[in-house]
Amino acid sequence: MINAHTLSDFRVKHDTALNGLFVQTLGLLSVDGLITLERVMQDGTKIRAKAAADSFRRPQRIEQALKEAKAQVAAVEAMSEEEGSRRMAKARQRAARERQERLEQALKEFEQLKKEDKDKEQRRVSTSDAEARVMKQPGGGYAPSYNVQIDTDAKNGVVVAVGVVQAGNDFEQLEPGIDRVEHNLKETPKEVVTDGGYVSKDTIVAMKERAIEYIAPCVDEAGKGQSSYDNRGVSAEYHSLRFIYDAQSNSYLCPQGKTLSYEGKEQRHLQVSYRYRAKRSDCERCPMKSQCCPGNRVVGRSVHRSEELAEVAEFRHKMKSEGARAIYKIRAQVAETPNLWIKEKFKLRQFSVRGLAKVGMEALWACLTYNIRVWMRLCWRKAAVVQPA
C-alpha cells in the first residue's frame, strides 16, 4: 500500500539510481550541445535544516536524553496492542526508535566537530538533525542549515553538479565542486567563475594547476597588515614604511636605528605576512616611544612584511582587465538563477528530511527537476525556431 512513508522513503532511498538519472540527463543535454563546460559558475546557498535553533545541546544533555529515549523505546515495545490500535502502536514504536537513533547520531557527531576544530565550549549538536550546522543566513541572523553548492553551465543555465556541505562558508568549496562536475561529465570546465567568498591563495593555485581559468573578484590586501600600529595614532614618521628591511639579515631597522628581528609568520587571505619585533628593552628606553608604539607595555614595536605568490599576483593582474570584469558581471544572473528557482518556485527553503545524505538527495531532486524544466524550455525554443512562421 502506498502511503506518505512509502513516498517519503522512496525519495531518499535510491541515491545510486537518482545520481544515475541526473548524470544521464546531463549526458543527453551534452550530446545536444546544450552543455559545453566552456564556462561554469559555482555558487552556494544556505537552506534551513529540519531542526529548531534551540535543539542544540552539549554531550552531557544528549547522553541523558538518550537514556530516557531508550527507556521510552522499551516501554512502548512492552505495551500490549490492546492499549491502542496496532497502527497506533507501530507509529509510537517508530517515533520512539527514530528519536533514539537521532540522539545516538548526535553523540557520534561530536567526533566530527572535533575534526572541524570547533572550540570545545562551542561544541553543541542538534538533537533533531545532528549533521546540521548553525549558519549565517543571507537575510541576517543564524539558523541550523546546510550549504548547497551548485555548479551551473553558463551556456544555457543547466546545473552540472550539486553537493551539500556542512561548512558555513564557501571558502574551500570550489575544488570539491569541480570534482563533482568532472565526475558527472568526465570533463574539466575550461573556465570557472565564483564570487569573492571562494577566493583564497590555495584556490587560485589549485585552479592554475588544473589549467582552469579562474574568474573572481580579488580583494586588494595591499597595505593590510603592514602594521596595525599605523592606525593607532602613531606619528607619520614612525609608520611601518619608515622601517627599513634588510633582506640579508631578514630584519628591519627602525628610525632610531634599532633592530626588529623576525618573530613569525601569519597566513592571510591571499598573502603570507612575516612579523618582526624590536626588543622590549630598546623601546622602553627610546625617547620616541610615545610617537612610535605608545600602547606597548609588555612587548616592543612590530612591523609586518607581506609576500604574495606569483600565481596570486598573476590572478590579481588578470582581474583588473576589462575582459575578466565583463565575465564577472554576468556571474550573478547565471549562478544565482537555479538557487532562486529552487527556493522561490520549488519552495525548498527548508529541507523536509534530516542528515547530510538525505538532504543531498532532496537537493539533487530539486536540481534534476530544474534541469528538466530548462531542457523543456530549450526544446520548445528549438521547435519554435524550426516551425515556419
Site for ligand SF4 in 16-45 (CB under 6 A): none
Count of residues near ligand SF4 by CB under 6 A: 14
Q: Which stretches of 35-76 are assigned E, i.e. beta strand?
A: 40-48, 56-57
With b for 16 or more beta-carbon neighbours within 10 A and e for fewer, the 95-110 pattern comes to: ebeebbebbebbbebb
Candidates 2-10, 47-55, 192-200, 250-258; binding stretch for ligand SF4 (CB under 6 A): 250-258
Q: Which C-beta is closer to ligand SF4: that of 56 or that of 252?
A: 252
Minimum distance of ligand SF4 from residue 271's CB (angstroms): 23
Q: From the list 154, 174, 254, 359, which residue makes contact with ligand SF4 (rule: CB under 6 A)?
A: 254
Minimum distance of ligand SF4 from residue 305's CB (angstroms): 15
Site for ligand SF4 in 155-184 (CB under 6 A): none
Site for ligand SF4 in 66-95 (CB under 6 A): none
What is the torsional sign of CA 289, 293, 298, 300?
A: negative
Minimum distance of ligand SF4 from residue 289's CB (angstroms): 4
Minimum distance of ligand SF4 from residue 151's CB (angstroms): 51
Q: Which stretches of 58-212 are assigned E, i.e. beta strand?
A: 125-126, 133-136, 142-153, 158-165, 191-193
The span from the CA of 7 to the CA of 214, in Å, is 42
378 in contact with ligand SF4 (CB under 6 A)? no
Which residue type is seen at 292?
A: C
Q: Which C-beta is closer to ligand SF4: that of 85 or that of 281?
A: 281
278 in contact with ligand SF4 (CB under 6 A)? yes
Candidates 125-133, 165-173, 275-283, 315-323; binding stretch for ligand SF4 (CB under 6 A): 275-283
Minimum distance of ligand SF4 from residue 295's CB (angstroms): 11
Candidates 156-164, 187-195, 202-210, 282-290; binding stretch for ligand SF4 (CB under 6 A): 282-290
Site for ligand SF4 in 287-326 (CB under 6 A): 288-289, 292-293, 300-301
258 in contact with ligand SF4 (CB under 6 A)? yes
Long-range contacts of 57-62 (CB under 8 A, 24+ apart): 57/106, 57/124, 57/125, 57/126, 57/127, 58/123, 58/124, 59/107, 59/110, 59/123, 59/125, 62/103, 62/106, 62/107, 62/125, 62/127
Name every residue whose Cβ is closer than 8 Å to that of residue 242 and which is 6 or more positions away in sequence: 254, 255
What phi and psi, each to the nearest 5 degrees, are found at residue 102?
A: -65, -40
Angle, helices 15-31/356-386, rounded to nearest 10 degrees: 30
Q: Which C-beta is closer to ligand SF4: that of 68 or that of 284?
A: 284
The span from the CA of 265 to the CA of 274, in Å, is 4
Q: From the list 282, 308, 311, 336, which residue makes contact with ligand SF4 (rule: CB under 6 A)?
A: 282
Q: Which C-beta is closer to ligand SF4: that of 238 or that of 365?
A: 238
Name every residue whose Cβ is closer than 8 Å to that of residue 249 and which is 6 or more positions away in sequence: 259
Minimum distance of ligand SF4 from residue 182's CB (angstroms): 52
| CA 233 vs CA 105, 258, 290: distances in Å | 53, 21, 10
Residues of the shown chain interacting with ligand SF4 in the complex, contacts defined by CB under 6 A: 254-256, 258, 278, 282-283, 286, 288-289, 292-293, 300-301
